[in-house]
Amino acid sequence: MAGADCVFCKIVQGQIPAEIVWQSPWAIAFLDINPANPGHVLLVLREHYATVDTIPPALFGSALQELPRLADAVMRATGAEGLNVVLNNGKVAGQVIDHVHFHLIPRRSGDSVTIRWEPGTYRDSAEVTSTAERIRAALSTGGQ
Contacts with ligand AMP, residue ranges (CB under 6 A): 7, 18, 32-34, 42, 88, 94-97
Contact 102, 85 (CB under 8 A): yes
Contact 50, 7 (CB under 8 A): no
**Where do runs of H (alpha helix) occur along the chain?**
7-12, 57-64, 67-78, 125-140
Nearer of residues 73 and 97 to ligand AMP, judged by Cβ: 97
- Which of Zn ion, ligand AMP, none does residue 97 bind to, with CB < 5 to 8 Å depending on kind? ligand AMP
Q: Residue 108: CB partners within 8 Å, gap ≥ 6?
A: 37, 79, 80, 81, 82
Annotated catalytic residue 101? yes
Q: Per-residue string for binding with Zn ion, 43-82, x by CB under 5 A?
A: -----x----------------------------------
Contact 12, 28 (CB under 8 A): yes
Q: How far is it, in rounded angstroms, from Cα 112 to Cα 91?
A: 23
Q: Per-residue string for binding with Zn ion, 76-115, x by CB under 5 A?
A: -----------------------x----------------
- Which of Zn ion, ligand AMP, none does residue 88 bind to, with CB < 5 to 8 Å depending on kind? ligand AMP
Active site residue ranges: 101
Interface residues with Zn ion (CB under 5 A) are: 3, 6, 8-9, 48, 99
